[in-house]
Amino acid sequence: MENKNKVWFITGASRGFGRIWAEAALSRGDKVAATARTPESISELKERFGDAVLPLALDVTDPRQVEKVVRQAHAHFGRLDVVLNNAGYTLVGTTEEADESDVRDLFDANYFGTLRVIQAALPLLRMQGNGHILGVSSAMGIVAAPLIGFYCASKWAVEALHDSLAQEVNGFGIKVTLIEPGAFATDFGSPLSMKTSPGMEVYADLRNQVFGRLSTAERGDPQATANAILHIVDAEEPPLRFAVGAGVLPLAREAYANRLTAWEAWESVTNAAQGKPINKR
């Protein structure tokens, strides 16, 4: 396992996983460019860890600010070893209820915000000849659920982005990992991390059912994830996908088994749709 001191760039470092993983990195002697929309929310990190922390204001929906802040962090520490995209939020609402502008805002933060940071960091990582890009996806990047379909869609997009990215940058010594957490007792469901569309009465029963299940669902201890993330960034050959929490893998197994069953049930029709081979000159 590789275990030298690393320099991290973390978005959404003010709370939740971003804060926990920033503290874990700093506690073992790493350095962190900790970013958040409001620098006051991460000032305590500076007080505790001193020059090991570079607190920076960053709204990932601002392309110019993203470019500026990533370069500022690289210039300050001289390198970036781990680029961790954690900033994001969820939109609660059925497909019929959500306003298109809210969906666009969600993707601007969750998908395009991640893309902006990656595009700003890639030239610097290529110049270094190394680096590790971590994208925080979700178990909902593997399956979809009612009422949060747009959040799921943004995470499915994040999954595809990193899958392609890993194939594109492998030759430059850059590693890529998708972090896929299950249900944890973070503040992700708080008003700071969630926006809700106006509800329609016709979906009231569904909403009550979903919220009822969520209220009794078992949630993991977010602090317990820190060692797992450090293990991933220290690995010489980290995985492209890393499920965080015991509930993710059973969920994935069931989802993929169901998909294979459906595809195979229609295989004859699928193959017939191929038609006869067409030879092009």
Q: Give the torsion sign (CA, 156, 158, 161, 164).
A: negative
B/e letters for 124-143, b = 16+ CB within 10 Å, e = fewer, are bbeebeebbbbbbbbbbbbb
Kindly name the residue from 14, 151, 154, 175 that is annotated as catalytic: 151
**57: number of Cβ within 10 Å:** 15
Kindly name the residue from 14, 31, 89, 137 that is annotated as catalytic: 137
60: Cβ–Cβ under 8 A, 6 or more apart, which residues? 11, 66, 85, 87, 109, 112, 113, 114, 116, 117
276 carries an active-site annotation: no
195 carries an active-site annotation: no
**Residue among 60, 2, 51 at smallest CA distance from 26:** 51
Asked if 55 and 75 touch (Cβ cutoff 8 Å), the reply is: no
Residue in the structure block whose two tokens are 């009422």 = 147
155 carries an active-site annotation: yes
Catalytic residues: 137, 151, 155
